[in-house]
Amino acid sequence: MIETPVVFEDDRIIAVNKPVGLPTIPGRGEIAVAVNFEIERRLRKKIFVVHRLDLLASGILVFAKDADTHRLLSLEFEERRAKKEYLVAVLGTMSGSGEINKPLREFSSGRVAPASDGKRAVTRWRVERALGGATLLKVETLTGRKHQIRAHFSS
């Protein structure tokens, strides 16, 4: 079992550093290893998922320890008051900063891509440094769409 390091904990929340390849929650019909199950086993109590990270992303996940805290934190994300920043490596050379404002749609295949009939999706980015044939970006998602960063930068 992969153990996710705790970066902060108090009586209302627990924040952990999710590694790449470990899902936040199991997929449909799966009874597999997932961060939420690991934390529940560790704490020996039910926790509440506030937000998720993609399977191939690593980073800080926050879980609520009670329903009231879950409601308050979920509202912060829904109202876009929670700031979500990522470090992203993209192929190619980029410079400066910018904003991608393209609606995204999930197709029946599960693929997410820009589409005029999609949901609003806004991603801001700024170059941190060059990485040879790639660029390291600091990315902020102003909306929380599934695979938003991947879909915006592949378009």
Task: Write out the H or E segment, with its range, that includes residue 37.
Answer: helix 35-43
> Using the 8-state DSSP alphabet, how is residue 102 labeled?
-
Rounded Cα–Cα distance for residues 108 and 114 (Å): 14
Closest-CA residue to 137 (of 82, 99, 97): 97
Residue 150 CA to residue 133 CA, distance in Å, equals: 18
68 an active-site residue?
Answer: no
The closest alpha carbon to 150, from 82, 77, 100, 116, belongs to: 100
CB atoms within 10 A of CB 70: 18
Q: Point out the catalytic residue in the list 10, 11, 54, 66.
A: 54
The catalytic residues are 54
